[in-house]
A and B are shown apart, each in its own frame.
Chain A
Amino acid sequence: MNFEDKTWLQRGRWLLLIALAAGMYVWSWNAAGMQPSLLIEGAPKARGIIKDLLQPHLFTRPEEIQEAETVIEAPCSGSPPSPAPDEGSSDGPAVQIEPACASAEDPVMVSGFGFRPNTSGRLHWAPAGMQGRLRDEQFTTDAQGAFTVETTVPPLLEQQGGVSGVVAQVEWESGALQPSEPLRTTIEKIIETVFLALMATTLGGIIAVPLSFLGARNIMPRTPAGNAVYGLTRGFFNVMRSIEPIILATIFAIWVGFGPFAGVLALSIVTIASLGKLYSEAAESIQEGPIEAVTATGANRFQVVVYGVVPQIVPPYTAFTIYQWDINVRISTIIGFVGGGGVGFVLRNWINQTRWTWASVAVWAIVIVVWLMDYTSARVREAIV
């Protein structure tokens, strides 16, 4: 009887647990706004981005531009302008337009010579009294560096009236590959990121060492005061660890302004909390035996610390510190999102400007640096412990 009752109860408990879990998942599904269909609907957008992310804009060639200008009057005034004959135009590029004055949509013929041969270019209109240019037909120069384009006069020229400019421009890439702007910025910011993590790890680590003794059960006396200090220190570690560094960085950015310093401060706090906890645990696992042995030789207190305690805590402390540096590098790649310096700042800017091929450079740099840190820190830790 009793036995059956128990199984029934147990079965009931399991059913209840399953029902509870099912309810939680249903609620979570709604609360987290799960809409798998969006993944497919948004796929075309994502495809473009992912394609760009796989093509980082790493190198550029310097661009060279060759330009020549003439003028046209629209509408005709009766005394068409004669383009000022260029002094050195005999060997440089030159451009002519036929007729010299026209109305809107009238056909005109633009011809140029003396340009770089076999190069593509574009014709522009520079309407009178306006800063901007109107883009028009593309052309390619022939083997002698000449071209002819038939086009029509844009209505805007007539609206503006007077003498407008006609510009022919050819462009080509020349010279050696050189690092692109995003690559140069990224390298600079990655250096900043690694140093940001280094400074924060050092600063946080230095503060965490004394604090860790306050948070070690075997070091703090079991008096009410000792218990209170221990509890407070451990509580501080736990609460600070629960707050993401990004949130701290927003607050520090208000304090010291945008820039890597805010990131250093935020990461230092995080480092104090997590290293403090790890250090305390390492201090708690110190073996009493060696301390006893050194004491028994007649060593004084300092000697006992240097020969009995320090050798026991230095390797784990070092290992944890390197591990934390590794983590801090990861965090400092995103701390720039809220103005905390590092590569995250430019990454977010480029993403906001939808320059995905630029953002891609930063993302790949992050991947490489984080992976390198991960690998070396694992190796160094293996060697130490």
Chain B
Amino acid sequence: MVDEKDIAEETDPNRSPALASLLSLIVPGAGQLYLGERSRGLSFLGAAVILVGLLTWLDMSLLYIGLLPFWLWNAWDARQQAQGRQPSFVLGFVLIAVVVYAIGWQVTEISVLKLVEGVPRIQPVVASLLKPDVVTRDVEVMEAIHIFESPCSGSPPAVAQPKVDAPYLITEPTCADVDETITVRGGNFPPSRTGELWWENPIGQASRLRARGEFVNFETDAQGQFSQQIAVPDVVPESGQHGPQIHEIKPRVSTPVGSPHASETFWLVVRRVGETIAQALMATTLGILLAVPVSFFSARNLMAVNPVGTAVYYVTRTLLNILRSVEPLIMAIVFVVWVGLGPFAGVLALVAHSIAALGKLYSEAIESIDPGPIEAVSATGANRAQVVVYAVLPQVLPPFVAFSIYRWDINVRMSTILGFVGGGGIGFLLQQWIRLSDYNEAGTAIWAIAIVVTILDYASAQVRERIV
């Protein structure tokens, strides 16, 4: 059905389609405004202003062309409107969305190429993350030592003789310049095993030998012997300036012994996860205790009874809103400066955020109290305290409990990352390990977080179902 107002507009001779579309062509939405379509005109104008502003600020002049279809469509729309039709908004919306997403694509530097190029970089990381360092076995190391001179002096060390009862290493020759190739032969190692070659320079710094970036390993044969060619590494700073020096070459075969047991990393993670949960518990508890009084100050139905109360209400509400907008991680930085690095700073950040979030939720619960039961209990002649106990508490307690449990969930999650800014908990270890490229260890931490958070999530869901 078409109501009368529409008909009146259709037949209005004063509204020229040409003028309307021209107006819209000059300023988007102007034609629609001229036709009396206020909200439509204003939203077109707003969209155009925002988009042009964005493109200018971000200096993406090429995308102005992308605005063209929207511009034309808006003029066409004005024409249609002037002729009494109501074209669908969808096309215009799509045209705007295209420009918005084009801007977003550029601003956020989305690049599928980077994603593909990075695959080799991320592959070993993910592989390590998926192999958390949880269980380990003790290792018995068999090692031999041989001394070696580099560069050569007139009297190189004597060639060693094969030992009978212990692992040994022989090099030929016993001195060489950096980058020269020498042959090392060893024996009396466990048979058919892979071993590592370590090189200790004159000041006692040991490092594993590398060739073209890869570690050099050796394989022992059935008799426990091996022979390997290696290049003399340049392991002394500015070695050319020093004279001949004595180095040590150490072949090493490690054998796991004993039964598997939890690794050091595992215990570290367990301790830090404990700290994380403790943080969440303290923060949630303190947050609840402090949020309850705050929520009274920010409940409209309690405070807006006189001008002072109303003022308190608005101030509290505003403060809560500001505080709630700032992520706990940002607050943690401030608290780290305040009380120093460590879990306490993290707890304080979570407390501040919990007060803000819970204060709002609690106060909304208070505001939605049904006055009926209060009236009924008061009518029985109950005193104020009795009214609170029998009519108010039963109404606010279930939502309070539900919100508190929900907050606990969030705090557990948040506390896992507070360590990124020095706020304690598992996040600290995780960030360290990622920085040092210890991805097996980082994987342990991530798995621990996933498991603990999922379990606590599930548990709190159960509790919530029971209580509420």
Contacts and interface: CB of A to CB of B under 8 A. Distances in A.
Are any A and B Cβ atoms less than 8 Å apart in their complex? yes
A239 B451 CA distance: 8
Contacts of B346: 32
A39 B446 CA distance: 31
Contacts of A256: 111, 114-115, 118
Interface in A321-372: 330-331, 333-334, 337-338, 341, 344, 347-348, 351, 363, 366-368, 370-371
A247 B420 CA distance: 9
B421 interface: yes
A246 interface: yes
| A34, A38, A42, A247 — most chain B CB neighbours (10 Å) | A247
B262 interface: no
A259 interface: yes
Contacts of A263: 108
Interface string B268-291: 000000110111011101000000
Interface residues of B, number: 67
Contact of A32 (B104, B105, B119, B424): B424
Interface in A23-81: 24-25, 27-35, 38-39, 41-43, 45-46, 49-50, 53
A31 B272 CA distance: 9
Contacts of A244: 413-414, 416-417, 449
Contacts of A242: 413, 449-450, 453-454, 457
Contact of A255 (B115, B334, B337): B115
Given A34-B282, A243-B449, A49 B321 contact: no
A191 B60 CA distance: 14
Interface stretch (B181-189, B196-204, B325-333): B325-333
B344 A34 contact: yes
| B278, B343, B430, B431 — most chain A CB neighbours (10 Å) | B278
Interface residues of A, number: 68
B212 interface: no
Nearest to A259: B109
A247 B446 contact: yes
A337 B108 contact: no
Interface stretch (A131-139, A142-150, A192-200): A192-200
Given A42-B339, A244-B413, A251-B125, A31 B278 contact: yes
Contacts of A334: 327, 329-330
B424 A33 contact: yes
Nearest to B325: A370
A250 interface: yes
Given A242-B453, A251-B122, A261-B109, A24 B281 contact: yes
A42 B101 CA distance: 46
B135 interface: no
Q: Is the interface of B mostly helix, strand, loop or mixed?
A: helix
A193 to B, nearest CB: 9
A111 interface: no
A282 to B, nearest CB: 18
A215 interface: no
B337 A264 contact: no
A371 B457 contact: no
Interface in B253-308: 274-275, 277-279, 281-283, 285
Nearest to B445: A247
Interface in A164-188: 187-188
A254 interface: yes
B107 interface: yes
B118 A195 contact: no
Nearest to A354: B337
A202 interface: yes
Contacts of B338: 38-39, 42-43, 45-46, 49
Contacts of B110: 199, 261, 264
B434 interface: yes
B89 interface: no
B344 A191 contact: no
Interface in A256-286: 256-257, 259-261, 263-265
Interface of B: 54, 57-58, 100-101, 103-105, 107-111, 114-115, 118-119, 121-122, 125-126, 129, 274-275, 277-279, 281-283, 285, 321-322, 325-327, 329-330, 333-334, 337-340, 342-344, 346-348, 413-414, 416-417, 420-421, 424, 427, 430-431, 434, 446, 449-450, 453-454, 457
Those 9 A-B pairs whose CB atoms lie nearest each other, nearest first: A242-B453, A31-B278, A28-B278, A370-B325, A38-B339, A255-B122, A46-B338, A260-B108, A195-B104
15 contacts: A25-B282, A29-B282, A39-B339, A41-B339, A187-B57, A191-B54, A238-B454, A255-B115, A256-B115, A263-B108, A330-B327, A331-B327, A338-B431, A348-B333, A371-B322
Given A25-B282, A367-B325, 14 more contacts: A29-B282, A34-B344, A34-B347, A42-B338, A188-B57, A243-B450, A244-B413, A244-B416, A247-B417, A255-B118, A255-B119, A261-B109, A337-B421, A370-B325
Interface of A: 24-25, 27-35, 38-39, 41-43, 45-46, 49-50, 53, 187-188, 191-192, 195-196, 198-199, 202, 238-239, 241-244, 246-247, 250-251, 254-257, 259-261, 263-265, 330-331, 333-334, 337-338, 341, 344, 347-348, 351, 363, 366-368, 370-371, 374
